[in-house]
Amino acid sequence: MTELNTTRTNSQGAVFETAKIARIRADFPYFKQIDELKSRGEKHSSYLDTAATSQRVARALLAEHDFTVAHTAAVHRGTSFATGEASLRYENARAQIAKFLGSSSLYTLVFTGGATDAINTLSTAISEASLAVSLPAPQLAVAGSDRFVLARDDEILVPVSEHHANLIPWQRLAARTGAKLVTLPVNENGLWRVAELRERLNARTKIVAFAHVSNVTGHTVEVADTVQAVKHASPDAITVLDACQSVPHLPFNASESGADFIVFSGHKMFGPNGVGGLLGKTELLDALPPARTGGSAITLVTPETTEFLPPPYRFEPGTGAVSQAIALAAATEYLQELGMHNIAKTEEFLVSYLLDKLRSVSGLRIIGEQHTNARAALVSLNLDGVHPHDVGQVLDSLGVIVRVGHHCAQPLHRALGITASVRCSVSCATTQDEIDAFVTGLKEAQKYFLER
């Protein structure tokens, strides 16, 4: 086994040594329990499904527990000391998460139920803007919202490789407004390039939505270059970045990306389920109508009309996921302390180790490019003659937890001529032993299904 080391230390980070990863694992109750079982020679699991849901760091669990037990109160409602303290903790969480994302004063963070909810919030708000000009309903409009109005034959561009959450809302928006949904094809490896995107862009392009990192190929897009290409072709077009698979794994700076809107999910970044965010340029959020309505998002209500608060509160009606937001802030503090450059280097090493080990498996198709510097912390693959679901059953019987299926990316799999794949995804808490167990499981699946 090639041991993890810290010899590749530079300004861009260092690979965590084996002892450091052991200490990191002790920060997660789930991994701590697994490692205790392993130390006693008992049956244990190998968790290689971080791209779907990461394990929660103890710090986030404790932060949520502390708020729930000692500080629960209605946020932004009432005048009591308890309400004020709860509200302050909630807003401090917002500020911490925005800081982690490299947000500047140009951006405002809206809490959502996750990235899927964030994209739906945005697409619905744009739909409301278009509805406001087509109906005698002035209360639906917000000053400046006409910039989001989609006319018939305006274009929404989405790569074929997108997660369903970054495709279906745009399909529905196109259907509601008469806009045209344009898809960007992928090559034989499931990838697209900025040069190919430029060929599809034109003055009628109004929205371009794309993932920073593909949840199937692990391919990493140059965000700033992509945004620049979009703005060059259509200056008023908005860019929507799905950062779910990047912000927990790579150094990320929203301001440097230039993206107009950025979405992410807490359950992929060592935090809880049910919380995420829509980070949007403030000037754009100011001009968007609310996607949903209710209490807390308003300034004045009459039986006939309503006036709404400015962002982010305009987009946060009702009671939010307060304890979850506080837990997510604690998770981002933990990620910052580890250092995102260090995390990226460690995961690059682990993916390189995985790809090297996979060379010993015959009849293997790896989806995406083969180099580690062209992919983030995951590898999807297929075994010749063995259905991914059958591979998953064998792996599960061996205690290896991965994702099998289409990974909410049916169009991409269809473009590649496959129905499903096996995805192994790592984090900075992954061990080489876990990767070894995965590779061993692939070979066991081949023996069971192909050598009988």
CATH number at residue 383: 3.90.1150.10
Q: Which of 338, 307, 323 is nearest to 100 (CA)?
A: 338
Residue 278 inside a domain? The answer is yes
Q: How confident is the model at residue 133 (pLDDT cuts 50, 70, 90)?
A: confident
Whether residues 285 and 171 share a domain: the answer is yes
Q: Could you tell me the two tokens for 411?
A: 């169009």
Contact between 168 and 176 under an 8 Å Cβ cutoff? The reply is no
Q: 369 and 437: one domain? A: yes
Q: Which of 106-110, 197-201, 299-303 shows the lowest mean pLDDT across its residues?
A: 299-303
Instruction: List the end-to-end C-alpha distance of the chain, in Å, as a whole number.
Output: 30
Position 381: which residue type?
L
Task: Tell whether 204 and 296 lie within a shared domain.
Answer: yes
Residue 150 is inside which H or E element, if any?
none
Structure tokens at 131: 């509805």
Ranges of beta strands (E only) in 216-363 are 238-242, 261-265, 276-281, 298-301, 306-308
Residues 157 and 187 in one domain: yes
User: Hunting for tokens 């008469």 — which residue is that?
Assistant: 178
Q: Is residue 110 part of a domain?
A: yes
Bridge partners for 181 per DSSP:
156
Q: Do the domain assignments include residue 72?
A: no
Q: Are residues 224 and 265 in the same domain?
A: yes
Which of 268, 289, 319 corresponds to the end of one domain? 319
Question: By mean pLDDT, which of 13-17, 170-174, 302-306, 313-317 is the weakest?
Answer: 302-306
Residue 81 domain flag = no
Domain that holds residue 346: 18-56+339-450
Point out the catalytic residue in the list 244, 408, 424, 428.
Answer: 408
Q: How far apart are CA 379 and CA 302, in angstroms?
A: 55
Is the residue at 397 inside a domain? yes
User: What is d(CA 340, CA 19) in angstroms, rounded to the nearest whole number?
Assistant: 18
Grade residue 135 by pLDDT with cuts at 50, 70 and 90. Answer: low
Domain assignment present for residue 330? The answer is no
Same domain, 146 and 293: yes
- In a domain? residue 126: yes
DSSP string, 32-87: HHHHHHHHTT----EE-BTTT-PPPPHHHHHHHHHHHHHT---TTSSS-HHHHHHH
Of the candidate ranges 145-149, 340-344, 412-416, the one whose mean pLDDT is the lowest: 145-149
Do 291 and 370 fall within a single domain? no
Peptide bond into 312 cis (omega under 30): yes
Together in a domain, 112 and 198: yes
Let me know if residue 262 belongs to a domain: yes
Based on the residue annotation, tell me whether 244 is a catalytic residue of this protein: no
Residue 246's Cα: distance from chain center in Å? 7
Residues 181 and 111 in one domain: yes
Are 377 and 444 found together in one domain? yes
Clarify whether residues 294 and 199 are in a common domain.
yes
In a shared domain, residues 276 and 391 = no
Q: What CATH code is carried by the domain that includes residue 309? A: 3.40.640.10
Read out DSSP for 186-199?
--TTS---HHHHHH
What pTM was computed for the model?
Answer: 0.96
What confidence tens digit (pLDDT) does each residue in 310-367 have?
Answer: 999 999 999 999 999 999 999 999 999 999 999 999 999 999 999 999 999 999 999 9
Beta bridge partners of 330: none
How does the average pLDDT of the chain come out, rounded? 94
